[in-house]
Structure 1
Amino acid sequence: MSFISKLQLMNKPQKHQPSDSKIFFYGRISSAILVSSGALAIQKILQTKVGGTIPLFLLSYPAVFGITGLCGMIPGLIATTITGLGVLYFFIPSLDNNVIYNLADLLSLGIFLVVGVASSMLIPSIQIKQTQAKLAAASESLKLYELMAMHCRDIILFIRQVDGKILECNKAATLTYGFSHEEFKSLTISNLLADQAPSHTHDLKSDTNPNGMLWESIHRRKDGSTFPVEISSQAGVTMGETRALISVIRDISKRKKAEETLLTTGEHLRISLASNHMATFDWDIIQNKHTWDNIVHELFGTNPETFRGTTEEFYQIVHPDDLNCVKEAQNLAIKTGHSKVDFRVIWPDGSHHHISSCKKVYRNEAGVAHRMIGICWDVTEQKVNEKALRLATESWLRTFDAIPDLIAILDSQHRITLVNKAMALRLKKQPHDCTGLFCYNVVHGLDAPPMFCPHSKTICDGHAHMEEVHEIHIGGDFLVSTTPIAGDDGKILGSVHVARDITDRKKMETELRCAIESQEEFLAIASHDLKAPLTDLYLTLNFMEEIVKQSPMDQPQLFDMISHALKSGQQLVVLLDELLDITRIRAGKLVLEKEDMDLKSAVLEWVSIVSTEARQKGSQITVKASDSVVGEWDPVRINQVISNLLSNAIKYGEGKPIEVTVLADLQTKCAKLIVRDQGIGVPLEMQSKIFKRFERAVSDRMIHGLGLGLYIVGQIVHAHGGSISLKSEPGKGSQFTVLLPLSDIECTLVDV
């Protein structure tokens, strides 16, 4: 017998006993006769009362149809015939002198009988077709039930209720337990139970659970292995003469494992939360009921006996400045489903504690937020450490930015990760704008690292390197050092690139080198210039001694020798005075003793003094001066200026005319002294240096001098508040112009 046949058998109605069937049949006929008779009687009474003949179809025919449909074909025929004949021949005639009415009544009787017979035959056939259609639909449904049962993943067993014997099973049962279909029919439900599983056989045999039973148990497979199951049994099923129950058994191994995993995970989570001092809370949003664990009170500093954990109580312990943030986080969680917030709580002792909280919201079937769960933990120490770290970082950054050296942190690809303000300022960018730029591009203006790049060397060998670099792109000379930055694995990640601006140092080195060279030249010139007059003086005196010893000397010859010796001594005095003046100027001790003096008279006096020397050189000195030019100056120092300028004009004038001009410039309120020669001139590149120490217009060793004269002249003029300038063209001579203030205001040279 197939599975579906058994299902049909289970749902087939039970047969009635013969005695019950006869009583039911006679009862149907009697009911039909009574209904038909009543319908005809009413019909006739209405005709009698109203008058005329009322058509039978008004009441009689509907009664015939109803009786036939209710009682079936045979009872319908019998009831219709008996009623028609009995009523017309016995009941109706008694009302009208026992005679049959006219032909219309006979015709009505015939129609009544024909309709009754036709209805009794037609209606049951229609009922049979409807029943067959219902049976076909039921058969299709049973086929679907069979497919569902056979291919259902759950195990389906039909069990005899009286002794628990398995009557039928689906395919899932054979696959799960390992028994064949025939083997299952030899088993009872007890054979499937594991040794440690409780038996529910007694409950299954009883009918005390009309709604069925649901329980969990442990079953055993054919190979002896066990597995947890969930059993749903329903009693009251009949298979033929046998009362049975249907059991749906589900393998819940995966569910049990998931439950065990969930239980273990929950325990681990509880232990983890407790070990990390994290608290949990559960808020029934609709009922406004909170559930807190004990750790919450440790975090909030509340008393578990008095703190009920309501929203209002919670808000009271939150720091006022953080209350809005907490409320916004709760609203955000209700709106989006989750949120996180950091806030402070105030303990009873007034101390502030930082709390971090995460929340998740659950919604009911209507989409309304009804539950919020979350965790919270103390982050006070973390906040303190973050603040200390922030302060340390800010302090480090301030120190980093205060360093005047140009510092950049570079990665292994020459990209800038951090710069200080000095470097950013030199690059003409903001510090954050430098991040990610290639150093060789922004510093050197190149598309690749230069050959001398110390950072490249550090990345290659992992050692510190140092280079002196002259960089035009950012302007200046730099001493660049790179120190490697290594990761935990020792791999070089980048370097600290420090560039110290040594432009001033290089300039000082150049100046020092030039000063040393000038000093060496000075020493050479000084030794030569000091040696010459000393030698002359020594030889002259020695010669005079020999002449005096050998013979009397005539007076003219002696006078010439003494004059020559005095001249040599005078040269020594001039050289030594210049050295002393340099010393005074360097020490800032050049003292001026001012008094009223006539510049014109001083110039004429010095012209007369040097005129003999000028004539010997072939030069003629001409003085252009109208009125006296009187000012308050130091006579000694001004005479020194006049003497030096005239001596240079004679020395470099090549025997050509020299012109000296003295006048008062009312526009600038200054006295003007101009000394012009037509000699060798001063090269253009030397004109800016000629007023510096140890500088001379020419390097001719035949022209004596230490190169200090014009430097001293310039210092004297500036000390008086005046100025000195030079206009010269090589081969055409030079013109020195000195401006001296007539009063205490400074004079500035104005080109005209």
Structure 2
Amino acid sequence: MWLADEEGRLVPAARLGLPREAEERLREEVRLLSGPSRRQLGPEGASVLARIQHHGRLLGGLALVQAGHTHPARSRVLAFAEDLAHHCALALENAHLLGQFQSAIHVRDEFITVAAHELRTPLTALKLQLQTLQRPLRQGAPCEPLLTRFQAVSRQVARLGRLVEGLLDVGRLNTGRLPLEREPVALDELVHDVVEHFSEELGRAGCEVSLSLQPHVTGVWDRARLEEALIHLLGNAVKFGAGRPIGLRVEQWGGTARLLVEDQGIGVSPEALERIFGRFERAVPSQEYGGLGLGLFLTRQIVEAHGGSVHVTSQPGEGATFVLELPASSPGAYMPLPGPWPRPPADSHPT
């Protein structure tokens, strides 16, 4: 018996009563089978060859040999081999499905653990802030310290809100729906608003933001969804590049609007460049960096729902540049802007 590996090669799984040379010869004959099974005569005797397959996909093969026989195997032996191969295929497919199920359970359990931790952190902070507010309120304390504490509470509430909205979006995507409320949006204005809204987090992280924004880059987009996508990217840049500069750039090439977010953080390994856009995926251990592993997944879903795309260029230790491309409502006049940003291909034609 042979089983197919990831590259489709037949690898020996069991051999009894056959020399290695005969096994290798039969394996090649099984690989070249054009039908599900075949009877044949060879140096080793009468044999029956059968493919182990499921819905046309080759999973392996088997050979039953009657040593020394000079007549082909009987029809019942052929039927037995085909039935055995069928049951082997079912067993292998069930094992594959069980592995997928166990992997999904592991991802679910890990997500529940991380989600519980992420939700507990702001709740704990809220509880402490509310407890400390009770005493000065009873004592008639001045308003300024109370305002500071209320702002801290507001930040934690906003964080909880983002976490809950992210989970709700995953639920919407599971049902195949990510509703968009489209309206004319100027991308440079949207970036200004998000950076201003995010300024407190950027300040606490010590991240200086530089903007290079081409004006009049517009499209018919869902403003709230794009703001959400940019907040995910800014949060990602702050998390992995705290204390280092972040750059944002808006430009238009033909009918495509481009938004670039560059950080100088830890970077992304080549094998994780595509994987990080998956649901609950991370390029680093969750013990070192928090988060549900949803930000980049939701960002891609939002951008693709608008008919656009998102990708990242990065090297470990050299930061990362995320590029969002969206269909613009009308061609804009391209204005070169300074800065070490990735340029479009040489064959592109800016308007």
Paired residue secondary structure (2:89): strand
1:596-647 deviation line (CA, Å, top 9, x unaligned): 1111110111112223322321211111122221001111111111111111
Match for residue 231 of structure 2?
643
CA 1:720–1:547 in 2, change beyond 3 Å: closer, same or farther?
same
In the alignment, does 2:126 pair up with 1:522? Answer: no
TM-fit CA distance, 1:686: 2.1
Question: How many Å apart are 1:493 and its aligned residue?
Answer: 6.7
The offset of 1:561, in angstroms, is 1.2
| Deviation readout 1:399-458 (Å, 9 max, x if unpaired) | xxxxxxxxxxxxx989xxxxxxxxx997333448753367999789xxxxxxxxxxxxxx
* 2:293 pairs with one of 702, 707, 722: 707
Corresponding residue for 1:601?
189
For the residues of structure 1 that align with 2:96 and 2:306, how far apart are their CA atoms?
30
1:480: Cα distance to partner?
A: 8.2
Letter in 2 for 1:726: V
Aligned equivalents of 2:31, 2:205: Cα separation in 1:
61
* 8 A contact 2:39–2:47 mirrored in 1: no
CA distance in structure 2 between the aligned counterparts of 1:426 and 1:659, rounded to whole angstroms: 59
1:676 match: secondary structure: strand
Instruction: Determine which of 549, 569, 579 is the counterpart of 2:157.
Output: 569
* TM alignment of 1:402-551, pairs within 5 A: 427-431=31-35, 435-436=40-41, 477=59, 495-496=80-81, 497-498=84-85, 499-500=88-89, 508-549=97-138, 551=139
Q: 1:616 aligns with which of 194, 200, 204?
A: 204
Corresponding residue for 2:281?
A: 695
Q: Secondary structure at 1:435's aligned position in 2? A: strand
Give how far 1:696 is off: 1.8
Identity, in percent, stands at: 30
Displacement of 1:751? 5.9
Kept in 1, the 8 Å contact 2:50–2:62? The answer is no
What TM-score do the two structures reach when normalised by structure 2? 0.72
Q: Is the 8 A contact 2:257 2:327 kept in 1?
A: yes
Distance 1:716 1:547, change over 3 A: same
Contact 2:49–2:61 (CA<8 Å) still a contact in 1? no
Q: Gaps spanning 5+ residues in structure 1: where?
A: 1-411, 415-423, 445-468, 483-491, 745-749
TM-align CA RMSD: 3.7
Match of 1:99 in 2: none
Contact 1:717 1:723 in 2 (8 A): yes
| Residue identity in the other structure for 1:532 | T
CA distance in 2, matches of 1:476, 1:429: 11
Structure 2: runs of 5 or more not aligned: 1-15, 19-27, 65-75, 331-343, 347-351
Q: Which residue of 1 aligns with 2:242?
A: 654
Work out which of the two has the higher radius of gyration on C-alpha atoms and give 1 or 2: 1
Distance 2:95 2:251 in 1: 45
Residue of structure 2 in register with 1:133 after alignment: none
Partner of residue 322, structure 2 = 736
Query: By how many angstroms is 1:506 displaced?
Result: 5.3
TM-superposition CA deviations, 1:174-224 (whole Å, max 9, x none): xxxxxxxxxxxxxxxxxxxxxxxxxxxxxxxxxxxxxxxxxxxxxxxxxxx
SS at match of 1:592: coil
Matched with 2:266 is: 680
**2:125 is matched by which residue type in structure 1?**
D
1:630-671 deviation per Cα after TM superposition (whole angstroms, max 9, x unaligned): 0011111111111111111111113111111111111xx211
Structure 2 distance, partners of 1:599, 1:502, is 54
1:700, CA displacement in angstroms? 4.3
Distance 1:428 1:708 in 2: 46
For residues 316 and 98 of structure 2, what CA distance do their matches in structure 1 show?
31
The answer for the alignment partner of 2:221 in structure 1 is 633
- Which residue number corresponds to residue 554 of structure 1? 142
1-structure distance, mates of 2:282, 2:116: 16
Contact kept, 8 Å, 1:479 with 1:502, in 2: the verdict is no
In the alignment, is the contact (CA less than 8 A) between 1:479 and 1:500 conserved in 2?
A: no
Residues 525, 591 of structure 1: alpha-carbon distance in 2 compared, 3 angstrom cutoff:
same
CA shift digits 1:141-197 (9 cap, x unpaired): xxxxxxxxxxxxxxxxxxxxxxxxxxxxxxxxxxxxxxxxxxxxxxxxxxxxxxxxx
TM-score by length of 1: 0.35
Contact kept? 2:281, 2:293, Cα under 8 Å: yes
The CA distance in 2 between the partners of 1:610 and 1:715, in whole Å, is: 22
Correspondent of 1:586 among 167, 174, 184: 174
Partner of 2:4: none
Contact 2:38–2:50 (CA under 8 A) maintained in structure 1: no
Q: In 2, Cα distance between the equivalents of 1:511 and 1:621?
A: 43
Change (3 A) 1:634 1:501: same
Which SS does the other structure have where 1:690 is aligned?
helix
Structure-2 separation of matches of 1:425 and 1:721: 49
Letter of the structure 2 residue corresponding to residue 714 of structure 1: R
**Residue 652 of structure 1 aligns to which amino acid in structure 2?**
F
2:304 to 706, 718, 731: 718
CA distance in 2, matches of 1:564, 1:631: 35
Secondary structure at 2:146 match in 1: helix
Deviation at 1:523, TM superposition (A): 1.0
1:664 equivalent in alignment to 2:268: no
Q: Which has the higher contact order (CA 8 A, sep 6+)?
A: 2
Q: Deviations over 1:315-373 (max 9, x none)?
A: xxxxxxxxxxxxxxxxxxxxxxxxxxxxxxxxxxxxxxxxxxxxxxxxxxxxxxxxxxx
Give the AA of the match of 2:167.
L
> 3-state DSSP class of the match of 1:500?
helix
Going from structure 1 to structure 2, the CA distance change for 1:440 and 1:513 (only over 3 Å counts) comes to: farther
